[in-house]
Structure 1
Amino acid sequence: MSTPPILALALPSATGRVLSIQSHTVQGYVGNKSAVFPLQLLGYDVDPINSVQFSNHTGYPSFRGQVLNGEQLWELIEGLEANNLLFYTHLLTVCDPVMGDEGKLYVPPELVSVYREKVVPVASMLTPNQFEAEQLTGYRISSEKDGFEACRVLHHAGPSKVVITSLNMDGELFLIGSHQKSKSHPPEQFKIVIPKIPAYFTGTGDLMTALLLGWSNKSPDDLASASELAVASLQALLQRTLQDYEKVGFDSKSSSLEIRLIQSQDDICRPQVRYKAVKYS
């Protein structure tokens, strides 16, 4: 007697179903390890595809692991499609490797044009840091006004929502957000001033992008409110991370800190907004 085929039906999600294509590390929280759990806490079904699988992030003296190539990635996509499982409300991907930060390019210069010409036009939301925004726009950001103008340039390229997650100038750190709800109207723009924490953390950009996706989908017409909630969760998590390292006598300035993600579940689910968005006109 033959065995009947197994039919597994993936039920739709009330909040959303996310395909997250990012790096994976066995130890620590970067890439998918930093993004999947927070989105699940916010009520999303998340299916991760690991673009790399490393023992640890590359900031350590050494690492081991594998890199998923294009053919292997496509094989996974085809497997989902063959079983009618390739249906998602959101695609979350952080360009891996990240373009760069703090004035340093992490990828070959010729790859920047690929991001600019192929990735940006199909994105609905873009979350670059200051350096990445400069690379994508060719626009030097040396003031708040420059940051908002860079957002407009990126809107013109495609995305309706742009959040430059960290601008560092004149001793101040802040986030800039911009939402162009209609091509015939100017974007709604704002900034959130963020306190500086005297330490370096890993995985914060991946976490911030996930939080922005989660909260902006819950409030699709209010990017400022979504950004306030994302900033609130991230800041509470970073403060907890710093405090926990200092409790055991670790010098927080000596190396990067692994974020305390699991210990910050309440801050992710129920963030307490302390830093408010200020509209830009």
Structure 2
Amino acid sequence: MKVLSIQSAVAWGHVGNSAAVFPLQRIGVEVVPVLTVNFSNHTGYGAWRGPLIPPADVADVLLGVEERGIFPRIDAVLSGYQGGVGIGDVIIDAVRRVKAANPAAVYACDPVMGNAKSGCFVAPEIPELLRDRVVPVADIITPNQFELGFLTGTEPADIRSTLESADLARAMGPSTVLVTSVERPDRPEGTIEMLVVDNSGAWLVNTPHLPFKANGSGDVTAALFTAHYVGTKDAKVALERTASSVFDLIETTYKSGERELQLVEAQEFYAHPQMQFTAEKVR
């Protein structure tokens, strides 16, 4: 499998491509990483250095990859945080060209906007860009519950309303929706859930909720789920593998006391998921 991953990168830490590439490689996926920023560290530190890569330069790199004859061999295009409207246009164009070269290729979009605690942390024009132009051309989207609500103009809370919101999102274009952080009021105490909905049904997986913020964990989740789903065509299996690996990554990080994801230390959990969580069919 080959994945074209168009995302940010950092020298220190693990977000964007700096979070997605290694776990994908560790499960046997060939990754073609194209960078949209090259920062010293993620912006959560409040200070960083390095350039935003101009959209024209990102497009030029993609053109060079295309000229090497790689696009017909791409199985999935993956994108995450989009720093500006120009990058969105470049990604949409790259998806169009990859699918022209390989009609079986899929586009997985992590529509990064924010979360319920901090609200939107992207430029004001990005949520509308994602909703109106990017999500409609995606095959897979991986929003959190807050992002799903914005995309659909709803307030998903319990399982029923989250399923209804996922169906509205699917009506926009993507056939598969992974909701990465379902926090329903009646969930078991100390847990968090992920929900996936596709043409074959809906599955929910429940894992312990560790009390700390792990920057980049969503990027790892989107990458692993995309690869497992494209590889197996089985939403339940892809969800269980992803939940297993990501929980063990977060637990490893939590126990280390470090701020950054312990991405390398947890590598065996990607290659050999423990499969300690079972997804329940909810529809």
Shorter-chain TM-score category? 0.7 to 0.9
- Which of 250, 259, 262 in structure 1 is aligned with 2:261? 259
Report the AA paired with residue 92 of structure 1: L
The answer on 1:194 being equivalent to 2:207 is: yes
Instruction: Tell whether the 8 Å contact from 1:174 to 1:194 is kept in structure 2 after alignment.
Output: yes
Q: Deviations over 1:86-118 (max 9, x none)?
A: 331110111324311125012244432221121
Contact 1:161/1:178 (<8 A) preserved: yes
Within a 5 Å distance, the mapping from 1:139-158 to structure 2 comes to 139-158=154-173
Pairing 1:66-145 to 2, within 5 Å after superposition: 66-87=51-72, 88-97=74-83, 98-103=112-117, 104-145=119-160
Deviation at 1:218, TM superposition (A): 2.2
Match status 1:50 vs 2:29: no
Q: Quote how far apart the aligned CAs of 1:81 are.
A: 2.6
Quote the residue 1:207 is aligned against. Answer: 220
Aligned-pair RMSD on alpha carbons? Answer: 1.5
Residue 155 of structure 1: CA displacement? 1.1
Cα distance in 2 for partners of 1:108, 1:85 equals 32
Amino acid at match of 1:159: P
- TM-superposition CA deviations, 1:93-147 (whole Å, max 9, x none): 1132431112501224443222112111111111001111011111111211111
TM-score, normalization by structure 1:
0.84
Distance 1:110 1:202 in 2: 23
Residue matched to 2:176:
161
Q: Is this contact kept in 2: 1:77–1:86, CA < 8 A?
A: no
1:194-234 Cα distance to aligned partner (Å, 9 max, x none): 211011111100000111012112211x1011111100001
Write the distance in 1 (CA, Å) between the matches of 2:65 and 2:240.
35
Q: Cα distance 1:62–1:110, how it changes in 2: closer, same or farther (>3 A)?
A: closer
SS at match of 2:244: helix
Cα distance in 1 between the residues matched to 2:64 and 2:275: 42
2: distance between equivalents of 1:174 and 1:44? 26
Q: TM-score, normalised by structure 2?
A: 0.84
**Equivalent pair of 1:232/1:275 in contact (CA under 8 Å):** yes
Alpha-carbon separation, structure 1, partners of 2:128 and 2:251: 37
Q: What amino acid is the match of 2:274?
A: Q
| Change in CA separation of 1:31 and 1:108 when aligned onto 2, cut-off 3 Å | closer
Find the aligned partners of 2:126 and 2:78 in 1 and give their Cα distance. Answer: 20
Q: CA deviation at 1:264?
A: 1.0
- After TM superposition, the runs of 4+ consecutive aligned structure 1 residues lying more than 4 A away are none
1:34-49 equivalence runs, <5 A: 34-49=19-34
Looking at structure 2, the residues matched to 117 and 35 of structure 1 have their Cα atoms a distance apart, in angstroms, of: 26
Residue of structure 2 in register with 1:232 after alignment: 244
- Unaligned ranges ≥5, structure 2: 84-111
AA matched with 1:120 = V
- Equivalent pairs, count: 249
**Mapped partners of 1:106, 1:273: distance in 2:** 33
Tell me the residue number matched to 2:277. Answer: 275
Q: How far apart, CA to CA, are the structure 1 residues paired with 2:125 and 2:51?
A: 24
Query: What is the match of residue 17 of structure 2?
Result: 32
1:64 aligned residue (49, 56, 72): 49
Residue identity matched to 2:166: C
Letter of the 1:90 counterpart: A
- 1:265 and 1:110 map into 2 onto residues whose CA distance is 36
Higher helix share: 2
- Per the alignment, residue 253 of structure 2 pairs with 241
**Cα distance in 1 for residues equivalent to 2:176 and 2:147:** 16
Gaps of 5+ in 1: 1-15, 181-186, 251-256
Could you say what secondary structure the match of 1:202 adopts? Answer: coil
* Distance in 2 of aligned mates of 1:229 and 1:152: 23
Bigger-Rg structure (1/2): 1
